[in-house]
Amino acid sequence: MNIEKQDFIVKGLAYSIRSAEEKDAEALSTLRVQIDGETENMDREQGEAFIGAAGFREIIRLDTEKDRNLFLVADVQGEIVGYSRCEGSDLKRFCHKVEFGVCVARNHWGYGIGKKLLELSIHWADTSGVEKMTLNVLETNDKAIELYKGMGFEIEGVLKKDRKHADGKYYDTIVMGRFKS
């Protein structure tokens, strides 16, 4: 599914959010590896589960074709600095919901890019017949948890000791969901 491009200016930074296009594949591959190395909040360590340009082209193609998928990118002067995806299921018992994920490059934190990606995804979901959005978030990512709560998500559960990080410690994953209001 695609959405119309939207432009924003926050704290002097101009950026656009639009649907991903196949031409974005190389930049997305590079950005994903970069972001995985910038924060412990992602599921992967840097370089794990690598997706190359060809893989991203296929994801973008499928997401564009499927009514229950949405792939958005945040663009600053032609550079992709963040992205989000909503992925639905073809299974009848799960076709009412999508899973949401988002990431933004560290040097572009604080400009509301993640929040705008989430807002546009929620609007798309609410106007596309999606009844529920779900997401997973690391227990220590307090800013994200508060953002999600502010956007109508509720904590639905906790996966205890779900992750083991390089520091040798276990961390919980918070499962959150939002029903269409």
Q: Residues 10-66: pLDDT tens digits?
A: 999 999 999 999 999 999 999 999 988 888 777 777 776 788 999 999 999 999 999
- pTM recorded for the entire structure: 0.93
Q: Positive or negative CA dihedral for 153, 70, 68, 42?
A: negative
Question: For 104-145, what is each residue's pLDDT tens digit?
Answer: 999 999 999 999 999 999 999 999 999 999 999 999 999 999
Alpha carbon distances (Å) from 45 to 40, 51, 56, 159: 8, 13, 18, 19
Asked if residues 30 and 73 have their Cβ atoms less than 8 Å apart, the reply is no
Question: For 73-101, what is each residue's pLDDT tens digit?
Answer: 999 999 999 999 999 999 999 999 999 99
